[in-house]
Amino acid sequence: MDSTRYNRVRDLFLAADELPPGEQEEFLRRETADDVSLLEEVISLLAEHDPAAAKLEGDCAQPVAMPPSDPSSGSIALSDTFTGPLPSETFGHGRGLSDSSASDSSVSDSATKIHPRRSSSSDPGQITKQGVLRTHASPRYGKDSERSKPRSKQMPMWAERTRKSRRRASGWLWLAALLPTALVGWWTYRAVDATMQRSVEVKLSGAAENLALAADRFLVNQSDLVRSWSRQNSIRNSINELIQIARTDPDVETMRDATQIDRIADQLRELSGHDDVKFVVWNNSFRIVASWLPDRADVGNVVHPSGAANLARVMAGETVLFGPERLTQDTIGFEPETTAPVMAVIVPVEDDEGKVSAAMLIRGFSAYEKFNRMFAEFSVSAGVDAYAINNDSIMVTEGPGATSLATQGKFDIPSTEIAANLRVCDPGMELTNENRELVKRQFSPVTVAAAGAIANRPDVRTEPYANYAGIEVVGAWKWLDRWDLGIIVEESAADSFAPTRLVRFSFLLLGSLLSVTAFLAASKLARTSTAEQAAVHPLSRYDVTGELGSGGMGVVYLARHRQLDRDVALKVLRSDRHKHDDRLRFDREAKLAASLTNPHSVMIYDYGHSEQNEAYCVMQYLKGLTLQEVVARSGHQPIGRVLSIMRQVCDALSEAHAKNLLHRDIKPQNIMLSLDKSVGDWVVVFDYGLAKPLEPDADVYQTTEAIWAGTPMYMAPERFRDPGNMDPRSDIYSVGCVGYYLLAGRPPFIESDPESLFSLILSEQPIGIHIHRGEPIALEVANLISRCMAKNVDDRFASIAELGRMIDQLRIDHEWSADQAKIWWSHHGGS
């Protein structure tokens, strides 16, 4: 087909697609005159085009703000005026030829996460509907149009017959037994749940408020006590005498031998009643003039920069709480005498004129021990897990829950080092002895309670959230702004709502017993007819549990093999697609996919036709995420991971190419990624609906090839110019596009109308990957992608095997381990 013929078919398709179905054929007969083959081509395209599926995939394309055109970089700035949906399946393909909608659904058990697009338009749904400017992801007709109505889901004939038989026999039993029970159970559960919610909320908020008041009162008392000591004449006079001596700029030994230091130490021991009370005095130059150290080695040194801010507040007349924290050797001459957390109070010292002349820190009078014991006693009496945190989300008291878990070995630190050491973050999972090594607490986000407390947003949360060990809890929190401490009170969600669960379990158990009774009674009535139907149907050994998706060619169900107890994806040819060409295309997909044995290609278990004229294909049911979902969940991917994924795709395609078989629709939606505990990321390529041999067997593969087939934004340029071209290097181009998508987090080309998209793919280079990532990318990796996506096929890798060897070389410098994969899946793999 030359370009003139191609343009003619495209224009007729777009014009006819604007019309209601009843007017299309008459319009085409009038426009094509005597050209019967042209008429048949366009009608075939319209019959296979699926607007709903195209809209779903078009919505998944994420537009990105493009930089201005830069001739030096080879990038092109796309129009920023388009705000409507972006098409992924454009003219001539839709979903009809590849049936990728059904295939995508058949192998994924997680819903595609589609991010909403930002649009400068007030109404992004109102886009131009004329000519090529209308996207194929938008509605064609009014709400009452026949084609605008979604297709109804079809049940398999054998499953529908069996289900109807059982439904007639058991319907009245279900209504009589379950309906009253369900209504009473629902009402009782809602009443109990509301009561428990209020009770838990009152308990937690009261506990947090009481503990916050007690903690504040304790710290105020300790601060007032220390400040009273600083006002004692003997201590104040001794400090002011030291200040006067320091102003004469004496040598350090003179300051260290000053008798005033001994008088201060003796007086503090007498006032505090503790022989090991410790103190440090700074002058207004932040230099130490007195210290509790026996050798006074730190006298004359300047305060560490980390403590300058607190001293400045004290010099302004404030009383400042130091800690609780573990001491570090940050001053010359000072070596911490303990590894336990300490709490100190820093108070101002005034001269005879009432001006602040010095700052004095006092500790070692059991302030922290009393503070920590207060939280422990409160936890026991209130039956909660109560602890304090600082503004770095570090637990500064020995929380009883954390101490117990550390004793069980579920933290990387012993129970004696929990306080002033454990970061209160959400590990993303419930910690066990096996998975605790995977948690990097310094990089994990803080818990809901810690974030709320640090932000000074007191609250009580009865909706369960994960605590520092990944356990679901409910809690309340407050922030003591004066002391820079947060108070958190938490309780296990399972314990808090145990009565609610008991009520729910009781009614569920009662409903289950009634359901089993109704089912057994219905089964007895329908056993004879059901057995007769199942005995003659080839799919009777499968139990259909639900529909996974529907495409232009088939409907895909999730089924379970009764004898093998294995989940499978069961694809059945649609009842309205039983033409000869439809059957040949369906047969071709099954036979081509079944010929592949590589573990990175989807497996075909069974295939055939029933006596009721149903064509079916039983295939592997894959659990995981498509590459499109992977990018939607975490954006652009690490280089090592991208190379690992591309290498596994190459393994699948190497076998196919060795059998002279091209995939022709490699794209992120047709590649499934899952976690294998032994090797990490595991890739499976699926949807061989567009696969085609280089040398077709006339007896097996004769189907009408309409113009071109595939997803445009991942198709090689030569396939637009010559749709019949069968070159393995076209698959290499698509693999490069997938690599670009994973590295950049965006498809290489995005446009609103087909003509503009074709123009970009045929003549322009994609925007540099580093621009999308916002960071430099290794030159050899960028060159690998560029070579795969070369416009000229001769500039690409000669074979998929050569591409695989080049990836193996790059993976030496860009590692992606199984442990890294496990961490990613623990954070992003949940449904």
Domain spanning 231-368: CATH 3.30.450.20: yes
Question: Three-state SS for 204?
Answer: helix
pLDDT value, residue 45: 76
- Residues 165-200: pLDDT tens digits? 455 545 655 566 666 766 766 777 677 777 778 888
pLDDT value, residue 127: 30
Residue type, 716: A
Strand partners, 693: 661
Mean pLDDT of the region 462-481 = 92
pLDDT value, residue 61: 45
Q: CB 817: neighbour CB atoms within 10 A?
A: 14
Q: Please give the radius of gyration of the chain, using alpha carbons only, rounded to the nearest integer.
A: 36
Q: How many Cα atoms occupy the beta-carbon half-sphere of 374 within 13 Å?
A: 19
Grade residue 518 by pLDDT with cuts at 50, 70 and 90. Answer: low
Residue type, 64: V
Q: How many Cα atoms occupy the beta-carbon half-sphere of 240 within 13 Å?
A: 18
Residue type, 209: E
Question: What's the order of all strands across the beta sheet hosting 625-626?
Answer: 625-626, 671-676, 680-685
Lowest mean pLDDT segment, chosen from 166-170, 456-460, 743-747: 166-170
Judge whether 231-368 and 384-496 match in fold. Answer: yes
- Residues in CB range of 78: below 8 A, 6 or more apart: 66, 750, 751, 760
Annotated binding site: 571
Mean pLDDT of the region 683-696 = 67
The closest alpha carbon to 116, from 124, 105, 127, 108, belongs to 124
Q: Match 């409160």 to its residue by tokens.
A: 378
Secondary structure E strands in 686-729: 692-693
Q: Quick check: 117 pLDDT over 60?
A: no
Q: CB 788: neighbour CB atoms within 10 A?
A: 25
pLDDT value, residue 535: 46
What is the secondary structure of 446-460 as a DSSP string? BPHHHHHHHTT--EE
Residue that wins the pLDDT comparison between 404 and 40: 404
Grade residue 459 by pLDDT with cuts at 50, 70 and 90. Answer: very high
Grade residue 503 by pLDDT with cuts at 50, 70 and 90. Answer: low
* Cα distance between residue 102 and residue 571, in whole Å: 8
Q: Quick check: 368 pLDDT over 80?
A: yes
- Residues in CB range of 512: below 8 A, 6 or more apart: none
Kindly state the tokens that stand for 225: 């006590």
Q: Is the separation of the CB atoms in 705 and 94 below 8 Å?
A: no
Delimit the domains of the chain by residue range: 3-140+624-828, 231-368, 384-496
How many helices, marked H, and strands, marked E, lie in the chain? 25, 19
Kindly state the tokens that stand for 285: 């130059």
Give the burial string for 682-708 (b: 16+ CB within 10 Å, else e): bbbbbbbbbbbbeeeeeeebebeebbb
The domain 3-140+624-828 is classified under which CATH number: 3.40.50.150, 1.10.510.10, 1.20.1250.20, 1.10.10.350? 1.10.510.10
- Residues 264-279: pLDDT tens digits? 999 999 999 999 999 9
Strands 615-620 and 566-573: antiparallel
As a whole number, the mean pLDDT across the chain is 77
Angle at 83 between CA 77 and CA 85, to 5 degrees: 105
At residue 394, φ and ψ (nearest 5 deg) are -95, 130
- Residues 61-114: pLDDT tens digits? 444 333 343 433 333 333 333 333 333 333 333 333 334 333 433 334 433 333
Q: Quick check: 124 pLDDT over 50?
A: no
Residue that wins the pLDDT comparison between 452 and 149: 452
* Cα distance between residue 627 and residue 629, in whole Å: 5
Q: What is the CATH number of domain 384-496?
A: 3.30.450
* Cα distance between residue 558 and residue 567, in whole Å: 7
Residue that wins the pLDDT comparison between 72 and 789: 789
Active site residues: 665
Name the percent of the chain lying above pLDDT 70.
72
Q: Match 């109404």 to its residue by tokens.
A: 123
- Residues 225-284: pLDDT tens digits? 999 999 999 999 999 999 999 988 899 898 999 999 999 999 999 999 999 999 999 999
Give the burial string for 2-27 (b: 16+ CB within 10 Å, else e): eeeebebbbebbbbbbebeeeebeee
Q: Quick check: 625 pLDDT over 60?
A: yes
pLDDT value, residue 817: 94
Mean pLDDT of the region 352-380 = 93
Angle at 355 between CA 353 and CA 360, to 5 degrees: 120
At residue 219, φ and ψ (nearest 5 deg) are -70, -35
What is the secondary structure of 598-632 as a DSSP string? -TTB--EEEEEE-TTS-EEEEEE---SEEHHHHHH
Residue type, 236: R
Give me the helices (H) in 231-258, please: 233-247, 252-256
Grade residue 636 by pLDDT with cuts at 50, 70 and 90. Answer: very high
Angle at 660 between CA 656 and CA 666, to 5 degrees: 45
Annotated binding site for ATP: 571
H/E segment holding residue 218: helix 157-230
pLDDT value, residue 141: 38
Q: Is the separation of the CB atoms in 753 and 132 below 8 Å?
A: yes
Q: Quick check: 714 pLDDT over 90?
A: no
Kindly state the tokens that stand for 704: 């009408």
The closest alpha carbon to 657, from 598, 723, 719, 589, belongs to 598
pLDDT value, residue 639: 96
Q: Match 């009443």 to its residue by tokens.
A: 191
Give me the torsion for CA of 568, 569, 572, 576, rounded to 10°.
160
Q: Which pTM value belongs to this model? A: 0.43
- Residues 569-611: pLDDT tens digits? 888 887 777 677 777 777 777 777 788 889 998 888 888 877 6
pLDDT value, residue 451: 93
Q: Is the separation of the CB atoms in 404 and 465 below 8 Å?
A: no
Q: Is the separation of the CB atoms in 210 and 489 below 8 Å?
A: no
The closest alpha carbon to 271, from 313, 306, 236, 304, belongs to 236
At residue 148, φ and ψ (nearest 5 deg) are -80, -10
